[in-house]
């Protein structure tokens, strides 16, 4: 088999995430892959999962609309998914498993890269890297001087 057939991309407002999405669109266009754009609205433990999170959901919808427009520019059909979850890492792994994804694409600042330690707690990125049911591509800052 050539390339990836099913790709899940986690979207958020960070520049690295938007770069990751563009790279995923190029991969999907080249390989004819199905591309799922996932935005996770993280619901704090102090609130019920169905709590009103209007601003966060509006921001999520705007990201998904932008993803659809970007996908159109690459000739890729985007499956948009907005998910509410306590833990974004778990939501990404669950979505990738349900989609039978062959690749998860994430954007992350360089400061999140590396193994968790006493100084650096487990991040969503390290959680996905350890639990993913498939390969994971991490897109980081373009500049080597970025934090």
3-state SS class at 34:
strand
Q: Mean pLDDT for the chain?
A: 88
pTM of the model: 0.87
147 occurs within a structural domain: no
133 occurs within a structural domain: yes
- State the total domains in the chain: 1
Cα dihedral sign for 23, 29, 32, 38? positive
pLDDT of residue 56: 95
CB atoms within 10 A of CB 139: 20
Q: Supply the range of the domain harboring residue 56.
A: 6-139
Residue range 3-22, pLDDT digits in tens: 899 999 999 989 999 999 99
**Could you give the percent of the chain with pLDDT greater than 70?**
87
């Amino acid at each position: 088999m050539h390339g990836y057939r099913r790709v899940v991309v986690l979207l958020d407002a960070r520049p690295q995430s938007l770069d990751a999405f563009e790279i995923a669109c190029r991969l999907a266009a080249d390989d004819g892959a199905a591309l799922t754009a996932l935005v996770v609205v993280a619901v704090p433990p102090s609130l019920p999962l169905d709590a009103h999170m209007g601003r966060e959901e509006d921001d999520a919808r705007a990201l998904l609309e932008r993803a659809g427009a970007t996908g159109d520019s690459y000739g890729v059909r985007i499956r948009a998914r907005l998910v509410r979850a306590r833990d974004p890492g778990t939501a990404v792994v669950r979505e990738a498993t349900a989609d039978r994804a062959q690749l998860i694409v994430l954007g992350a600042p360089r400061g999140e890269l590396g193994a968790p330690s006493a100084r650096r707690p487990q991040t969503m990125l390290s959680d996905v890297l350890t639990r993913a049911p498939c390969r994971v591509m991490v897109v980081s800052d373009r500049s080597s001087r970025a934090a």
